[in-house]
Structure 1
Amino acid sequence: MPHAPVPPQRRANARRMRKTLTDAELKLWNEFRAHRLMGLSFRRQMPIAGYIVDFACPVHRLIVEIDGSQHALASNISYDEIRTRRLQTAGWTVLRFWNGDILRDIDNVCTHIIRTTGKDLP
């Protein structure tokens, strides 16, 4: 399936965001990088279906989004729902986690991600 075009401004924003991770993104990336999480290969700020997603595991068509408090606003909830449906229509599974969940309970977040891929836990 060909990639949907990503506007240059959005692509530049993704490049900038790869360099300036939030605390939650950094904590999760440290679990993902170099295939540390059960050998899964994740990419950061990957363009998919016209969007830039936080993390993607292309082999399992899995997207992991990290949401800060701004995602609780009514206007953002609606946008996130549309975005999630579009990504699902493109054949991806989308998992969303709050920043606080990652910062306080990274082990359960990682367990949930592993289970979603269908891999067996050690």
Structure 2
Amino acid sequence: MPKQHIHNKSQLKTKRQELRKKLTPAEAFLWTHIKSRQLKGKRFTKQHSIGNYIVDFYCASEKLIIELDGEVHNNPVTQEYDNIRSSYLENLGYTVIRFENKLVFENLPSVLKAIALNFKN
């Protein structure tokens, strides 16, 4: 059986490009600290798609996904969607970690430390 292509599906390319151009303030701020292998030499990509989901940040070498959540994630419908999405990704062998936008701005060192603690190598 051929291996299914689940990364960066072509039908999501336009959406990924749009999201990259319009990062939230928290995404843009975190990106300035993790891009170009700044965090322990690990390479991250932003707005990477896996299956039908587009994740905020992805580190392939660690199979690590970082999601940043704003106020919109504080309602039961969105939380249920986030749980389904995280379960799907975790069942594929990825680690999904989430941070509130506010935490990225107020305590960046602890966010970067928490990300690094999820590195296996």
Q: Is the pair's TM-score, using the shorter chain for normalization, greater than 0.5?
A: yes
Secondary structure class of the residue paired with 1:86: helix
Secondary structure class of the residue paired with 2:118: helix
Deviation at 1:2, TM superposition (A): 3.2
Q: Which runs of 5+ in 2 are unaligned?
A: none
1:66-105 correspondence to structure 2 within 5 Å: 66-105=68-107
Deviation at 1:13, TM superposition (A): 1.9
Deviation at 1:14, TM superposition (A): 1.5
Which aligned segments of 4 or more residues in structure 1 are displaced greater than 2 angstroms? 1-8
Deviation at 1:49, TM superposition (A): 2.3
- Correspondence 1:14 to 2:16: yes
Matching residue of 1:108: 110
Q: Aligned Cα RMSD in Å?
A: 1.6
Secondary structure class of the residue paired with 1:25: helix
Matched to 2:88, the amino acid is R
Identity over aligned residues, as a percent?
33
TM-score, length of structure 1 as denominator length: 0.90
Deviation at 1:7, TM superposition (A): 7.3
Q: Which runs of 5+ in 1 are unaligned?
A: none
Q: Distance in 2 between matches of 1:36 and 1:104?
A: 20
Secondary structure class of the residue paired with 2:23: coil
